[in-house]
Amino acid sequence: MHVGVRYRNAVQGTGERPWELHIVAGAVVAAGAVLAAAPLPTTAARLALIWVALAVYAWSVPDAAAALVTAGLAYLFLNSFLVHRYGELSWDGAASLAQLGLLALTAVPALGRRWLDAVRNDLALTAELSTLVSEHHSTDMEFDTEFDTEFDTESDAGSGTAADLRQPARKQENRG
């Protein structure tokens, strides 16, 4: 009996990690960025350093949901430990909204990376499909010429051969 946790976003064999692990890694990045920003003199400089760290994280892990959760955690860390002291959360109106909005924009690199990966995969798939189609088309042409000559050589009507398949079916009246 196999007991295990099945993640809905994990794809076996692709190396993709579940989004829950992305959130944990993002929390570590957010905490590290806040610690690194602590010695900076102004809130704007601290916010800029945290923003860059979160944007790099979002690019490396192209998961927009995890990037938004990480931005929310980073906002809580920034507000409680860098803007205010001693872990006290508070709302300062427009300034807090601007900080939260700026940190939420760190999910944009995750969306951009996801889009670029999708375009790259589509181009690779298109190239592979065109190669397969051209290979199939060349072998299909050889098969078609052999098949057509087989149809053309058989002209015995009504014997159930391939030539009968090309002829339109005739209705037979049932006079009974």
Query: Within a 13 Å sphere around the CA of 24, how many CA atoms are in the beta-carbon half?
Result: 5
Give helix 94-104 / helix 43-60 axis angle, nearest 10°.
30
Q: Is residue 140 part of a domain?
A: no
pTM: 0.61
- Is the CB of residue 78 less than 8 Å from the CB of residue 34? yes
pLDDT tens track, the chain, 176 positions: 444 444 444 445 556 667 788 899 999 999 999 999 999 999 999 999 999 999 999 988 888 889 999 999 999 999 998 888 777 888 888 989 999 999 999 989 888 888 888 888 888 888 888 888 888 776 655 555 555 555 555 444 555 555 555 555 555 556 65
**Number of domains comprising the chain:** 1
Phi, psi of 47 (to 5 degrees): -65, -40
Residue 74 lies in a domain: yes
In a domain, 152, yes or no: no
What distance in Å separates the CA atoms of residue 25 and residue 22, rounded to the nearest whole number? 5
